[in-house]
Structure 1
Amino acid sequence: MGNSHSHHPNESVEKPDFSVRRRSSAKQITSAHVPALERLFQKLELTAEDDNGHPGEITRATFENVFHGPLQLFGKLLYEQMVTNGHHHHGDKVRGRITCEQFVKAGKEVLKLFNETDQHKYYFKLFSQGKEQLDKEGALRMIHIAYALTLSSSMVPYAKNEKDEQVFNAVLESMFGMKSEIKFSEMERWMESNCPHMVAGVHNWVYTILTGSKMPEELEVSRVPMLERFTEGQHCMTMGMVWMLTGSLPHMFTHTEEKDTDPAAQAGTKNPLLTSFQFLMKLARLSRCQSWVNLYDSDEHGLSMNRFSHHVTSYNDPTITLVSFEGRNIYCIAEDVPWREGTSKFGREDTRLIQITPVYRVVQSGGPLVQWSITDRNIPKGIHFGQSGRLEVLSIPLDFDMAKHYGVQCQLHHVEMWGCGRVESLQLQQKQKQWERKEVEKQRSRKLHRDVNWEENPDKQLLSWGGVEVNHQYSRSGAM
């Protein structure tokens, strides 16, 4: 019930305007990194297990053996791409050796991919193994490897569970539809509309490996944030969802902290992706993305409007909200402004409404998109998602007892919100909550006059935000 495997007939998907900062001086870095490519080739020569009877060349096995664990297949595909420059065909015999000159030339071709469209073309050829069309098996390999390498380049420990497979299959469902193969132009259209930075993490990782240094900040996109207070399997959010969302969302949701993190400090980690090529990455200093912090989780805090309000209010930075309901549906509401209760909708140009499963797609982009009404008697109470003048996509009534999906009533399973802002934002929210709790104590000790109209008393909203149950019809769970 409420399951949507295709676009609603009255819902058109807008094409988001994703911009990536590029500087004209960036193209000069290609020649500057030639010495780094030559040094890398020499280091690869030293890793050869057998005596190298061909000085100035390395074997395919030597190249591929540097890649371990989840990266083993990628090493095979990257070697084929560098040797053939993407012009090989499935079944063709790929040369078993590569010279230093060929390696440097192929490396320069990769390093000059500053435009994301050019990156998409390069990695389409890599994962299709030179064919003109990409099949579902190749696309799934691309998704798995892009996920692993994006986490690695963001210095986030690798993790994957069965929920991630559901997300990845939802991507395939959206990208391919009824087709078994797609051309580059079809993949590019889908990426532009839904996830333009899907392979950006792959390119960030390859750039770092080839140069021994991090990608310039103006060229780096799709950084994956750490999740504070996160335990895999105990939230609706998974790392697979985080990765897909960072490939879809504007930069403001994944901005970088003003500090560097030394990957050498990660040497003790159990993450195989960070130990691979460790000797090449000692000089790299990869930027870390701003963490996301869990503000509200209905399993922990209670599935109620009262508890939602208590944990959400006073957080003044962008947020990610997940809504899970029957039909395997999970929606993401990325808000670029603080949540506010009232009669008008809120959200600016970076706001997104994204369906994550069973089909991954950007449903609407740009605000105002969210209306949150608790007290006004003239409009429907609850939370409503969808742009004005268009069919409402999703809503949650005041009682938090169901969800309406395009007007169809569905069982509500889970709601959670993640804060995407600065550390200071959470600290300011906590200070505000402390002040509110003190005010609540004052109100509790104050004897209300019998002739006061409680429905119109301004203290009612303050008590509600402080966690005091002021009207039982607002909540199915008043637990603190």
Structure 2
Amino acid sequence: MGNGQYKHGNQRHKSHPNIASINRKASTSTTSSLHEKYATNTPRDGMSRTASGSDINEKNYSLFFPLEKLSKILHQKTQHECGVNGIAQEIFVKYVFPKYPDLGERIFRKMHKLAKAKTKHLGVTAFRQQCEMYLSVLDDALIHEHYVKMFFANGSLNAATASKENAGGQQQPLSDEELLLVNTNGLTDLLLICFRIGVANYIASAGKADVTTISADTICPHIKRTITSVTQSCFFTKDTLSVGFVCRWLEKNLPNLIMPLHRFCVHTLTTVYRTIEEAEKVATTSQSSVTGATNEVNPLLLALNKELRKLNEAACERGTPEIITGNTLPSTGGLGKLMPLSQSWLLAAALPNVFTRVQERKAPITPQPSGKLDNPDATIPAIDAAAASPIPHLMSTIPTHWSLLYDSQQHGVGSNRFLHHVIGYKGPTLVLLHSETDEIFCLASPSEWRETHLYTGTDDCHIIQLLPKFSILEKGPKLLYLNTCIRGYPKGLRAGPDPRKPLLSVDEHFEKIEYRSVPSVLFAIEVYGCGDRQIRDIQLDIKKWQVTEAERQRTVKLTSADWIDHPDRYLLELGGRPQYNNA
């Protein structure tokens, strides 16, 4: 019995390895079945790398149709023009960013560095992968850092070949810390690219000519002074700064500077393939039409047409700068001397959207002939030249709806002149103050101005110094103060968080200005309305009504019965003129 139990136990003991092997087979078969089940979603092949980064398995990445089309077109162009199996930098710049070659070179070098390619060109798959990563960045902080790193101290060179001279005059490679330093030239290039793209889309939204081939100095003669104010404020006395510091400074002082540039790059990468295809179709049709017509048309007429075409192009080139060299805006009729085109672009990059975007207003309820009413939820579209072309308007940072309300050089200096042109405008405004020390300040009020003994304003209030250094001095609620008639309280215009010690103050006669308790003579004042045209029209209508009402009251004819109880009669009698009719 005991032996039987032992054998039984021994047999049970010997059966354990068999059971384990069966379990291993079952688990292996289950695992293999799971692999077969999800084989359609995971690639079987591994990933290796070549110099151009072109061997990445295409199954690992979803194919975005615009990027797929763009990569195929650029690949064909590179093979045809350069004889390279991939995408070359010159082809990318030539067909994707022909109007901004510097920006195209920087973007391609950034993609080339992130792909870790060892050749000068990029593989098709690596290029598509980098474009998808470029489009997937959504965080504002990462976007700022991405573009600032494009314009690092030696951004015009390859990181592998960047070098500097040592004390002995020999070239030595830059360290990683030095490669991540930004100098004034890098920040200047970034600002110029943003300004050129903003102005080009601003002009395009207004229906004007193409200005991408014109220099920034021709577009706005004050662009150097504007950019110098930014670089001096950011760098102060230093030659280089870290990428992190520059990113934080831009986020604090110019939060809306880089986002239009990013939108432009994303829009270009996703839509340029259609432009290339349309250009090829036009070239093909024009070439076929020219070849077919050369057999029939007189060669003298063709030569004459070419000469006329050249004359027309030369005339257009001479006339294009005249469109944009002045301070005229398409929708406002003009800006003052304190607000050139570059200054309005910089202010729009620093101010909140309440100043830079036209707000849609609800349509008034008006009776219809049938007795029904309009839809109360209907909105009136913004009266703007950019309404017909929304894409350039979204990428433009220059507002087209700012209107000049008050200019001291045109309308006169004084508190009554200021109140007459500013009070009653129920929208955001910008007040520019120019002192004799060549300092220009901006008071940004998101709501209408009103006389009171209290400090007013919402969270969007800003106090900005424009020149000689650009800086946001203060922002927040209850920063602005205006009082010219209430007794017992300080009179004049004031701005600052501390009522007892204002940061900026103008006296009641609008003749002197004090900045941080340092007095100076006030040279000029300009006020701009940042609301839509309807707000401006309402203000003008109210002023016209006031003028007509004053004229009507001045010519009122009183009867003898009305004159007996009129208060003016008693005033004349108190003044010693009871016989006022014999005067």
Describe the shift of the 1:263–1:210 C-alpha distance in structure 2 as closer, same or farther (beyond 3 A).
farther
Question: Identity percentage over the alignment?
Answer: 25
From 371, 383, 400, give the equivalent of 2:510. Answer: 400
From 57, 71, 80, give the equivalent of 1:41. Answer: 71
Describe the shift of the 1:86–1:307 C-alpha distance in structure 2 as closer, same or farther (beyond 3 A).
farther
Q: CA offsets, 1:283-321, max 9 Å, x none?
A: 957547672122112222223322221211111011111
Question: Equivalents in 1 of 2:570, 2:504: separation in Å?
Answer: 41
Question: Equivalents in 2 of 1:243, 1:197: separation in Å?
Answer: 10
Between 286-295 and 166-175, report the one with greater CA deviation: 286-295
1:371 and 2:487 matched: no
The correspondence of residues 441-452 of structure 1 with structure 2, limited to 5 A, is 441-445=551-555, 449=568
Structure 2: tracts of 5 or more residues without a match: 1-60, 160-178, 273-328, 361-380, 558-566, 573-583
| CA displacement at 1:123 relative to structure 2 | 0.6
Q: CA offsets, 1:359-408, max 9 Å, x none?
A: 11111111211111121232232211212346312222232222222222
Q: Which amino acid aligns with 2:184?
A: K
Query: Counterpart of 1:416?
Result: 526
1:81 and 2:140 matched: no
Preserved CA contact (<8 Å) 2:75 2:124: no
Q: CA offsets, 1:428-449, max 9 Å, x none?
A: 1111111111122134446994
Q: Which amino acid aligns with 1:229?
A: T
Q: CA offsets, 1:183-233, max 9 Å, x none?
A: 1221122123212222112101101111229xxxxxxxxxxxx6743547x
1:254 and 2:356 matched: yes
From 252, 270, 281, give the equivalent of 1:193. Answer: 252
Query: Counterpart of 2:190?
Result: 142
SS state of the match for residue 376, structure 1?
coil
CA RMSD of aligned residues (A): 3.4
Query: Counterpart of 1:470?
Result: none
Describe the shift of the 1:425–1:103 C-alpha distance in structure 2 as closer, same or farther (beyond 3 A).
same
Query: Counterpart of 1:271?
Result: none
From 65, 68, 80, give the equivalent of 2:94. Answer: 65
Describe the shift of the 1:420–1:64 C-alpha distance in structure 2 as closer, same or farther (beyond 3 A).
same
| CA displacement at 1:50 relative to structure 2 | 5.8
1:151 and 2:199 matched: yes
Preserved CA contact (<8 Å) 1:347 1:368: yes
Question: Equivalents in 2 of 1:263, 1:212: separation in Å?
Answer: 20
Question: Equivalents in 2 of 1:33, 1:345: separation in Å?
Answer: 57
From 220, 242, 245, give the equivalent of 2:344. Answer: 242
Question: Equivalents in 2 of 1:298, 1:95: separation in Å?
Answer: 62
The correspondence of residues 76-475 of structure 1 with structure 2, limited to 5 A, is 76-85=105-114, 95-128=119-152, 129=155, 131-153=179-201, 155=204, 160-212=219-271, 228-231=331-334, 234-256=336-358, 287=394, 291-389=401-499, 391-445=501-555, 449=568
Question: Equivalents in 2 of 1:285, 1:331: separation in Å?
Answer: 30
Q: CA offsets, 1:42-75, max 9 Å, x none?
A: 44457669635335x3322222224345x22212
| CA displacement at 1:237 relative to structure 2 | 0.7
Preserved CA contact (<8 Å) 1:334 1:353: yes
Preserved CA contact (<8 Å) 2:479 2:495: yes
Structure 1: tracts of 5 or more residues without a match: 1-30, 89-93, 214-225, 267-282, 454-480
SS state of the match for residue 368, structure 1?
coil
Describe the shift of the 1:396–1:120 C-alpha distance in structure 2 as closer, same or farther (beyond 3 A).
same
Structure 1 or 2: more helix by fraction: 2
| CA displacement at 1:33 relative to structure 2 | 8.1
Question: Equivalents in 2 of 1:201, 1:353: separation in Å?
Answer: 24
SS state of the match for residue 58, structure 1?
coil
Q: CA offsets, 1:99-157, max 9 Å, x none?
A: 32222112112212211110011111111126211111111111111222233455557
Describe the shift of the 1:450–1:211 C-alpha distance in structure 2 as closer, same or farther (beyond 3 A).
farther
Preserved CA contact (<8 Å) 1:262 1:286: no
SS state of the match for residue 98, structure 1?
coil
Question: Equivalents in 2 of 1:164, 1:105: separation in Å?
Answer: 37
The higher-RCO structure (CA 8 Å, 6+ apart) is 1
Preserved CA contact (<8 Å) 1:328 1:358: yes
Question: Equivalents in 2 of 1:194, 1:227: separation in Å?
Answer: 28
- Larger Rg, first or second structure (1 or 2): 2
Aligned length: 388
| CA displacement at 1:86 relative to structure 2 | 9.0
Query: Counterpart of 1:9?
Result: none
Question: Equivalents in 2 of 1:344, 1:450: separation in Å?
Answer: 40
| CA displacement at 1:350 relative to structure 2 | 0.8
SS state of the match for residue 198, structure 1?
coil
